Copies of this chain bind each other. A is one copy, B any other.
């Protein structure tokens, strides 16, 4: 019956449609610089998709803690971005001229923060994620300032090769998280299994794919227009490489391919290509991706359990294996890939990051532990309704 009523309308509408025409598509006078900046903003939106849906849903793999993981992601991003923006506007430890560059740098700090939060996921109360953000952003900014802006005079401005943040974002975030779990894993939490199921896995794979898709924009966010295409192709090939390596190494090391490996280690190519994304060629990028995927999968399949049992601490999302090791690998591989690289600066940058991230992470974890601990880890019911 409804069909009968609607069909004549549709027919009428369709006939009228033949009257449509394309207007003479034109636009007002604008400058090329405006257009270039708007393109930066499109990349900034891509990065935002990675932060919220990407990192957020990758962490939804914890079956009983998915809604909290998404909520925590919202809170972490919403503290980190204004906080970094404020810091940078005030010219504390660096400071850029353009709002859009500031926004992208703020997103980078939020990315580092989300990585770090992955280590303690499910074992913080919601308000503690916000405290974590408040503690993380200044430490991250300090490291960023030393490595990229010549802060404290330790590394010459521009000497470090790390365009897409293998060292500054990924390794720092992961190692800060690793430092913080020392004070943020109770015996009960360590012994509570982290459960996933078919639905939480599918959400996690969705987050993973969103990260994969927009990763080229992450690495190219602040790259000059003429170098963007090369960067993008390198990043995509690195991700293809790590995806393939993940399958083969996961199958080789385990009886079956692990969905967790597929959701995580596939991305290791993006992590590792960060340092050299605008300085290498597709074939090398593909190789870096394969190496990073293999390292990451080995980390998840072999190192993770051994290390966690050794230190009796939990790295919920295995950020050491997705971001820590591949990030360091990416920073080191630059030594072999980039001609005329300043070896001292590169090694100093890596060394400073390792020390600073772990130390500040340890302190942050200790401070956070004073703010209380959850009764039931990995459980949405405790704080959400």
Identify the A interface with B (CB < 8 A): 2-3, 6-7, 9-10, 13-14, 16-28, 30-39, 41-42, 44-46, 48-49, 52-53, 56-57, 60, 64, 66-67, 70-71, 73-75, 77-79, 81-83, 85-86, 89-90, 96-100, 102-103, 125-128, 130-131, 134, 198-199, 201-203, 205-206, 209-210, 212-214, 216-217, 224-226, 228-230, 232-233, 236-237, 239-241, 243-244, 247-248, 251-252, 254-259, 262, 266, 281-283, 286-287, 290, 371, 380, 383-385
State A36–B224 Cα separation when bound (angstroms): 14
CB distance from A247 to the nearest CB of B (A): 6
List 18 interface pairs A-B (beta carbons < 8 Å), by A numbering: A2-B128, A10-B244, A20-B86, A25-B34, A25-B226, A26-B37, A26-B98, A27-B37, A39-B39, A45-B213, A45-B214, A48-B212, A60-B202, A66-B198, A75-B247, A78-B239, A82-B237, A127-B247
Chain B residues, CB < 8 A from A19: 89-90, 283
CB distance from A215 to the nearest CB of B (A): 10
Interface centre among A25, A203, A384 (most CB of B within 10 A): A25
Chain B residues, CB < 8 A from A45: 46, 213-214, 216-217
Chain B residues, CB < 8 A from A128: 2
Are A228 and B38 in contact (CB-based, < 8 A)?
A: yes
Chain B residues, CB < 8 A from A134: 9
State A272–B229 Cα separation when bound (angstroms): 30
State A380–B258 Cα separation when bound (angstroms): 11
Chain B residues, CB < 8 A from A49: 213
State A320–B85 Cα separation when bound (angstroms): 32
Are B255 and A385 in contact (CB-based, < 8 A)?
A: yes
Residue of B nearest to A83 (CB): B13
With A126-B247, A286-B82 in contact, do A23 and B371 touch (Cβ < 8 Å)? no
Chain B residues, CB < 8 A from A33: 25-27
Chain B residues, CB < 8 A from A66: 198, 202
State A203–B3 Cα separation when bound (angstroms): 29
- Pairs A-B, 8 closest by C-beta atoms: A17-B283, A2-B127, A256-B385, A34-B225, A78-B243, A78-B240, A27-B36, A27-B33
Among the listed B3, B52, B254, which residue makes an inter-chain contact with A248, where contact means beta carbons less than 8 Å apart? B3
Are A67 and B202 in contact (CB-based, < 8 A)?
A: yes
Chain B residues, CB < 8 A from A97: 23-24, 26
Are B229 and A37 in contact (CB-based, < 8 A)?
A: yes
Chain B residues, CB < 8 A from A23: 96-99, 102
Chain B residues, CB < 8 A from A228: 34, 37-38, 41
CB distance from A264 to the nearest CB of B (A): 12
State A41–B14 Cα separation when bound (angstroms): 24
State A148–B189 Cα separation when bound (angstroms): 58
With A14-B287, A32-B30, A232-B103 in contact, do A281 and B198 touch (Cβ < 8 Å)? no
Chain B residues, CB < 8 A from A255: 385
